[in-house]
Amino acid sequence: MRLTKKISLFAAAAAITASTAVLAAPTFINVLTGGTSGVYYPIGVALSQLYSNGIDGAKTSVQATKASVENLNLLEAGRGELAFALGDSVADAWNGVEDAGFKAPLKKIRAIAGTYPNYIQIVANAESGIKTLEDLKGKRISVGAPKSGTELNARAIFEAAGLSYKDMGKVEFLPYAESVELIKNRQLDATLQSSGLGMAAIRDLASTMKISFVAIPAEVTAKIDNAAYEAATIPAGTYDGQDADVPTVAINNILVTHEGVSDEVAYQMTKLMFDNLERLGTAHSAAKDIKLESATKNLPIPLHPGAERFYKEAGAL
């Protein structure tokens, strides 16, 4: 009897130890962002800190990437748990648009929230004489990393304006910071950036030299065959020396996860973000445009069930 009782006690202890080990297993949350001089990165850092402190057992990390297209492919491969991406890239990923960087439809990705808009910001060295889209002909321009969300935006806008890369004197495929450095060194005339307002790289350029902003007229925006693109304005005073409003295009950003992330973790990631919007706004001013009432509107992919649970509780669905 005593031997049997001891065996039972050992078995019970082993079961408790095993279940405790399962509960104590860390929850890895890798946040996929963009270049460190963009907007995705500082907001991603702020989110990772929220998750590290607010989700039991969370082990968080932040990965700088080439942004939208790379992020979505990494998510599909299970190499991240949360990612920033442009709305048009998310739609292309879901549909498997190969020319946009997706060899097959990415059906594992799920939405956490629509967030803030990216504004297309075309800036030029004022000495180049570039003031309009037409003025870009024959000039040296950077359009973002190849097949990045920014570069896909550039293609769509130039096509709507009756332009192509062939019209340019030189086209570089470089991210934010590198593009700005080449303009400073007079090796580039202009760069097209897709980002939240007040991005660090353009602020740096504006503080270094006199720059001009290229308007994207509403009639050009109307010709873009994609509902994700909307006419918008870069308000005067957003950057040093920018004295007037600049008409442009905006595309909403989406926080994306994948179906392998548990419902509870997705719920906590969504809830912690909306419970701490003020803190995110201090990480970067672009995050001040994140609104609960618009977070589930016009999403091109399904919501993660965990995020959906939060929105139902919050009365946003």
Domain extents for the chain?
27-116+252-314, 118-251
pLDDT band at 7 (very low <50, low <70, confident <90, very high): very low
Instruction: Please list, residue by residue across 122-140, b when 16 or more beta carbons sit within 10 angstroms of its beta carbon and e when fewer do.
Output: bbbbeebebeebebbeebb
The 10s digit of each residue's pLDDT in 36-79 is 888 999 999 999 999 999 999 999 999 999 999 999 999 999 99
Q: Which residues neighbour 147 within 8 Å (Cβ) at sequence distance 6 or greater? A: 69, 100, 101
Which whole number is the average pLDDT over 139-157?
92
- pLDDT at position 24: 53
Beta strands 82-86; 27-32: pairing state: parallel
| Crossing angle (nearest 10°) for helices 263-275 and 305-314 | 40
- Amino acid of residue 249: V
- pLDDT at position 133: 98
pLDDT band at 228 (very low <50, low <70, confident <90, very high): confident
Distances (CA, A) of 255 to 19, 22, 67, 104, 218: 33, 28, 12, 21, 27
CATH no. for 27-116+252-314: 3.40.190.10
CA-closest candidate to residue 254, choices 109, 64, 139: 109
CB 176 within 8 A of CB 40: no
pLDDT band at 217 (very low <50, low <70, confident <90, very high): very high
Rounded CA-CA distance 250/236 in Å is: 16
User: Which has the higher per-residue pLDDT, 16 or 179?
Assistant: 179
Q: Which residues neighbour 52 within 8 Å (Cβ) at sequence distance 6 or greater? A: 58, 59, 60
42 membership: H or E segment, kind and range? helix 40-54
Rounded CA-CA distance 241/234 in Å is: 13
User: Token digits for 57?
Assistant: 């057992």
Instruction: Please list, residue by residue across 63-82, b when 16 or more beta carbons sit within 10 angstroms of its beta carbon and e when fewer do.
Output: bbbbbbbbbbbbbbeeebbb
- Rounded to a whole number of angstroms, the distance between the first and last alpha carbons of the chain is 60
Rounded CA-CA distance 127/307 in Å is: 49
- pLDDT at position 1: 47
User: Which has the higher per-residue pLDDT, 258 or 198?
Assistant: 258
Which whole number is the average pLDDT over 201-214?
95
Query: Quick check: do 27-116+252-314 and 118-251 share a fold?
Result: yes
Q: In this structure, which CATH number among 3.40.190.10, 3.55.40.20, 3.20.20.140, 3.40.50.620 belongs to the domain 118-251?
A: 3.40.190.10
Share of the chain above pLDDT 70, in %: 92
- pLDDT at position 148: 85
